Structure 1
Amino acid sequence: MSSTISGRSTGSGGPTFDPYDNTPELIPLRTAAQAGHWPAVRAFIAGLDSVEKVCSASSLLADIAGAENFLERAVTELPGDPLPRTLLAHRYVYIGWDIRSGARAQHVSRDQFDQFHAWLRRAEQILIEVCAEQPAYAPAWTVRLMTARGLQLGQAEARRRYDRLSAHHPHHYHAQTQLLQQICPKWGGSWDAAHGFARECATAAPDGSNAGALVALAHIEHWLDLESTERGAYMRGLPVRDDLRFAAQVSVLHPSYRPNWNSIGAHSAFAFAFSLGGHFADAAPHFAFLGDRASEFPWDYMGDPKASFLKFRKSAMEA
């Protein structure tokens, strides 16, 4: 038995967090990458109609084990092409981050840090060359925001890199989410900076963009950083609720909004944030869009993402 919210199936099996299930048009990219078939990967990316999609594809490729093998060959064969070099650097960043793990710094060993930094330095050397040759190449600058954070190059350097990118590609959502992480306190920033940047992105972007989701992500990060006894009160607070409502209305709930590859992540952020505060009527339209789909982030902040999604969605349906 399944039910529907606004016509989208919500079966009892729960959500899928698999990006290829949620966006089936990406499956040929995975197939080509797993086969180590560079021409097919290049043709897929060449057929994409936006820089945001290229960055999405790059992130997915970076998460495929062994992809560095065919990408290294592609770099050797096409030394002047920014695409294989950027994809390879992105893969190196993921290898390094997998070694580091997502734990807070005090729980990461010296050896893990050494390996992590070694992989990021390899990526950074590649990206420095790409950005010098192609100053407007957004995929490379986006990955350089990740290396800046991991190598602890500081707030000013991260912001410099973002500014270089946004001069050519304003409102670039992938880059905005990376810089938001950088300016949270866990990476040396502050909550004033994080919330200020998120609101700045939401208000500066054209109506109907994904940028408003940054407001939700900033509040989620703030919630996570609080003591467990303070978390509920923070998300229930009316200032947070109103902040989220404004951000949702100018972004994913705006009449001009058109779904894209970042939509599941953006709606997931709002559904998650509203639900944490018990604002289930506000969460409902986001769950309506999602149906049985969700992004791993931020749901992986919960001990049981699937159970949390189902619990929150049920409350939203009944609100």
Structure 2
Amino acid sequence: MARLLPLLVIALGIFFWYRSRRNAAGRPGSAASSAPGLSKEAAALGFLPQDRQDTERLTHDPQIDGAREAAEHGAWEPAARAMAAIGRDWERRTALVIALAHVAAEEDAWLTAWQAACPGDPGAAAVRARSTVFLAGKLRGSGYAKDTSAEQFEAFHRVLLRAREDIALAMELDAEDPSPHVSDLWAGLGLGYPHAYVDELWAEITTRAPFHFEAHYGALQYWCAKWHGSEELARAFADKAAAGAPAGTLLPALRLIAHFEHLDRPLSAKHYRTPEVAAMTDAVLADLPAVRPDHPRLAEVRHLLAFFLVQQKRHAEALEQFRAVDGCVGSLPWDYFGDPAKLYCDYRERAVQGAK
């Protein structure tokens, strides 16, 4: 019997180990229960797994996506048609310019063909202006200044100066379009425009489109401490924009962005649970019903809301935002971190489990 006792202990150990593994496999979020980043509960709600989250795209927009995909295949005509169809809808026009400019910064033969076929086309000129800004950023790289070579900095500034020429031409070809002015804001981040110049530029933008979200986002970046302002200037800019905005502009979200941009530990929950931040979150939620469904930045604001709401343990409200944006995670706040799809799915899972 004494000789059988060790065997019995081993057998019992194997039994309990197997049972614990089997029970773990049935728990939400375990690797055995479903695909990575997808618990059984999340799957039942129709959410997509981590490997099906598009980290390059903010949202699905058939009009903008179609023009961009055609440009990626070398055809400019769909881009020109989309530009004409959007017309003077400045928010969507700027979004289309940005989407096409990203393509042109990688390969611009299709844009060169567009400009050759339609000399003086203001839409093509606006795309060219923003693409040159993107090209400058590509040449510099995304590393910290200490990790960036003198050659990279030289190319960055040289191309940004060329971008100013492209921007000036786009402004001349369509004096009403704010998108070249928005491109100038982003050029100013790299060239270090003085505050007085940006104030003048901002007056030009708001004369054309006083509640343009994309323009406000670019200006907020300029006023952040990491660029050419400070936390106080960024918050003041966001407060002023949000206070004077009509419903449906998404501008109350600028306060959340300014808050997020100036956190030393952006994933620490304590930064999101003050009464002030909760009130800022509520103001954005209150603005959503008035926002047009095709607003090109609506998805990003929903992503930001979902993040803030999870941090505030308002899981049911966060889950509503996750339902609206699942599948595209190329957005604040996820793309500020190394693995945006994983972080997104982790926070989504917190909402799923917390809302039960």
TM-score category of the 2 structures, normalised to the smaller one: 0.7 to 0.9
1:45 corresponds in structure 2 to 83
- When residues 4 and 23 of structure 1 are mapped into structure 2, their CA distance, relative to the original with a 3 A threshold, is farther
1:287-316: CA deviation from partner (whole Å, max 9, x where unpaired): 232233333332111232112111211222
- When residues 229 and 58 of structure 1 are mapped into structure 2, their CA distance, relative to the original with a 3 A threshold, is closer
Is the 8 Å Cα contact of residues 275 and 283 (structure 1) preserved in structure 2? yes
1:230: how far off?
A: 9.6
2:194 corresponds in structure 1 to 154
User: What TM-score results when the alignment is normalised by the length of structure 2?
Assistant: 0.78
- When residues 288 and 31 of structure 1 are mapped into structure 2, their CA distance, relative to the original with a 3 A threshold, is closer
Count matched residues. 312
1:168-211: CA deviation from partner (whole Å, max 9, x where unpaired): 11110111110010000111201122112222222222212222
- For residues 152 and 274 of structure 2, the distance between their equivalents in structure 1, rounded to whole angstroms, comes to 39
Please say if 1:120 is aligned against 2:163.
no
Identical-residue share of aligned pairs (%): 24
1:121-146: CA deviation from partner (whole Å, max 9, x where unpaired): 11111212332453322111111111
2:49 corresponds in structure 1 to 12
2:176 corresponds in structure 1 to 136
1:282: how far off?
A: 4.8
- For residues 157 and 3 of structure 1, the distance between their equivalents in structure 2, rounded to whole angstroms, comes to 53
- For residues 165 and 10 of structure 1, the distance between their equivalents in structure 2, rounded to whole angstroms, comes to 39
Task: Within 5 Å, give how 1:1-319 maps onto structure 2.
Answer: 9-13=46-50, 15-19=53-57, 22-48=60-86, 50-64=89-103, 66-223=106-263, 226=264, 228=265, 231-249=268-286, 251-252=287-288, 255-260=289-294, 261-276=296-311, 278-317=313-352, 318-319=354-355
- When residues 20 and 237 of structure 1 are mapped into structure 2, their CA distance, relative to the original with a 3 A threshold, is closer
- When residues 12 and 31 of structure 1 are mapped into structure 2, their CA distance, relative to the original with a 3 A threshold, is closer
- For residues 296 and 222 of structure 1, the distance between their equivalents in structure 2, rounded to whole angstroms, comes to 17
Q: Which runs of 5+ in 1 are unaligned?
A: none
Residue range with higher mean Cα deviation, 38-47 or 168-177:
38-47
- When residues 11 and 76 of structure 1 are mapped into structure 2, their CA distance, relative to the original with a 3 A threshold, is closer
SS at match of 1:94: helix
1:199-232: CA deviation from partner (whole Å, max 9, x where unpaired): 2222222212222222221111112xx1x49954
Is the 8 Å Cα contact of residues 83 and 123 (structure 2) preserved in structure 1? no
Is the 8 Å Cα contact of residues 58 and 300 (structure 2) preserved in structure 1? no
1:272: how far off?
A: 2.3
Is the 8 Å Cα contact of residues 148 and 157 (structure 1) preserved in structure 2? no
Is the 8 Å Cα contact of residues 252 and 280 (structure 2) preserved in structure 1? no
- When residues 45 and 285 of structure 1 are mapped into structure 2, their CA distance, relative to the original with a 3 A threshold, is same
- For residues 174 and 115 of structure 2, the distance between their equivalents in structure 1, rounded to whole angstroms, comes to 16
Residue 284 of structure 2 aligns with an amino acid whose one-letter code is A
Is the 8 Å Cα contact of residues 136 and 165 (structure 1) preserved in structure 2? no
Q: Looking at CA atoms only, which structure, 1 or 2, has the larger radius of gyration? A: 2
Residue 248 of structure 1 aligns with an amino acid whose one-letter code is L
Q: Which runs of 5+ in 2 are unaligned?
A: 1-33, 35-39
1:4: how far off?
A: 7.1
- For residues 67 and 46 of structure 1, the distance between their equivalents in structure 2, rounded to whole angstroms, comes to 23
- For residues 221 and 246 of structure 1, the distance between their equivalents in structure 2, rounded to whole angstroms, comes to 19
Is the 8 Å Cα contact of residues 236 and 279 (structure 1) preserved in structure 2? no
- For residues 195 and 205 of structure 1, the distance between their equivalents in structure 2, rounded to whole angstroms, comes to 15
- For residues 127 and 259 of structure 1, the distance between their equivalents in structure 2, rounded to whole angstroms, comes to 30
Residue 28 of structure 1 aligns with an amino acid whose one-letter code is G
SS at match of 2:108: helix
- For residues 204 and 226 of structure 2, the distance between their equivalents in structure 1, rounded to whole angstroms, comes to 24
- For residues 108 and 213 of structure 2, the distance between their equivalents in structure 1, rounded to whole angstroms, comes to 25
User: What TM-score results when the alignment is normalised by the length of structure 1?
Assistant: 0.87
Is the 8 Å Cα contact of residues 3 and 10 (structure 1) preserved in structure 2? no
Deviating beyond 6 angstroms after TM superposition, the runs of 4 or more aligned structure 1 residues are: none
- When residues 19 and 303 of structure 1 are mapped into structure 2, their CA distance, relative to the original with a 3 A threshold, is closer
Residue 57 of structure 1 aligns with an amino acid whose one-letter code is L
